[in-house]
Amino acid sequence: MPRYAMKIEYHGAPFVGWQRQAEHPSVQGAIEAALKKLEPRDHTIAAAGRTDAGVHATGQVAHCDLDKNWDPFRLSEALNYHLKPQPVAITACALVDDDWHARFSAVERRYLFRIVMRRAPVTHDDGLVWRVNHALDPDAMQQGANYLLGRHDFTTFRSSICQAQSPVKTLDELRIDPIDGPSGPEIRVHVRARSFLHNQVRSFVGTLERVGSGAWSPEQVKSALETQNRAACGPVSPPQGLYLAQVKYDSDPFE
């Protein structure tokens, strides 16, 4: 059975998350239903990461095994036709080796979190950003973020329902980027690592927002990390500002 890699973009608002659920709409379920239109049988696809309800993706990657040999471009076009009108798109497709795996072959994942600072409600970016009604200090946020870089026990920033075997991860990048965004002053948080714990990025962002607002000092982030206690974490940010932006492999299947 030929195996295909798919690069996927989606708006997370209508879905309970990536993972298929029997009675609720999911991104995985939408794509598997589209595959069933092409090859009438049940399909199971695997993704590089399971995003939560309301989380978006511009660079999710998944793979599927099909019965016939498809031209990758025609496969992506056919899937996009059957995915309409859902906010899911296959932006690239490639034939890969039988042992290639969207999750286990990945060597890096990158997330983006968008925070817009304005008192007025957002209109064009509604559901795509976290709006806060106060200014944030990006320099203080970066100072706090720097304490999280490297290899640590991230129990403090790990969901209580996280299924990872170990809370120890290596964080390669946590960069605070203030920009003049389309909806006003914006903080973009760029996060990069080989793998993440459940809710780790949203826990980082919620904690760093407290630093940016002046409620926490940057040094409190270091103290929270060292406690290895979930209760020391700041508030978890809402999901709508979070994007799975890119998944990297030793050899990019889409090049």
CA–CA gap between residue 199 and residue 161 (Å, rounded): 9
Q: Which residues of 22-57 are buried (b: 16+ CB within 10 A; e: fewer)?
A: eeeebbbbbbbebbeebeeeebebebbbbbbbbbbb
Q: What is the dihedral of CA 145, 148, 149, 150, to 10 degrees?
A: 180
Residue spans of alpha helices (H) in the chain:
27-38, 72-83, 138-146, 200-213, 218-227
CA–CA gap between residue 147 and residue 198 (Å, rounded): 20
Hunting for tokens 């690239």 — which residue is that? 92
Residues involved in catalysis: 52
Strand partners, 191: 111, 174
CA–CA gap between residue 7 and residue 61 (Å, rounded): 5
Find all residues with CB under 8 Å of 78, minimum gap 6, and list them. 38, 70
